[in-house]
Amino acid sequence: LIQNKTYVHVNTQLIYPRFHRFGFDFTGNLKGVGVWGEACLIKPDKTYKLITHLPDINQVLGFDAGIVQPQIPDSVIFDANKPWLHFVLGMDYTFSNGIYTNFQYVHGFLHERGVDDLNDYYLLRLEKKLFDDKLKLAPLSGGFMIGDYNDVKNQYALFWLPELTYYPNDNAELTIGVKYIDGKGGAAFSKLKDYDEVYLKLKYSF
């Protein structure tokens, strides 16, 4: 039996990892089509590990029960010898009828860190201003994320974000929109599939 008033002392050390970042970007125009790109190589300043030391169970029990001390192997969080690359390539174009389109390919979103944590995103937005620019309709706005090209049906996320914006004057914007997300797998966006929403947003510039 465990003795009364038996305590386990937990000592947790938290650290903020440091990274070296090397980046570049470019912009240009190809026959009226805007193009751009950004890239950032991220390298940890050292190898970061998760180290767990479990208490001696015999000591917790208060007597020698002959229980072998369990060991949990260290797990590498960031490897100094494995830098990773975030990058985005994009293009946009405005048609003669005023329809604006924007397409981007993103490798590694802002919250993704580590070689094995990067996903690919294909983002598309189409919008059109109406009634002397008083309304802006964006029926096609969203993207598709692929976590594993060998298992797309189980490692993906789909997000659709249509919006309708009204401009009552030069300083104000009133937007109503929908966020629809679906997906499978362990990526952050895939886990948000049950959090669809309709929202109303007011922006006023002074």
d(CA 100, CA 92): 7
Sign of CA dihedral 54, 58, 60, 61: positive
Stretch (H or E) spanning 109? none
- Residue 139 domain-assigned? yes
Helices (H), 31-134: 57-61
Q: Of 118, 148, 173, at which residue does a domain stop?
A: 118
- Residue 129 domain-assigned? no
- Residue 126 domain-assigned? no
pLDDT digits (tens, 9 = 90+) for 42-97: 999 999 988 887 777 777 677 777 777 777 888 888 999 999 999 999 999 999 99
Q: Are residues 28 and 112 in the same domain?
A: yes
pLDDT band at residue 167 using 50, 70 and 90 as cut-offs: very high
Q: How many domains does the chain have?
A: 2
**SS3 (DSSP) at 160:** strand
Average pLDDT over residues 171-184: 95
Is it the case that residue 110 has pLDDT exceeding 90? Answer: no
Range of the domain at 139: 134-206
Q: Are residues 75 and 160 in the same domain?
A: no
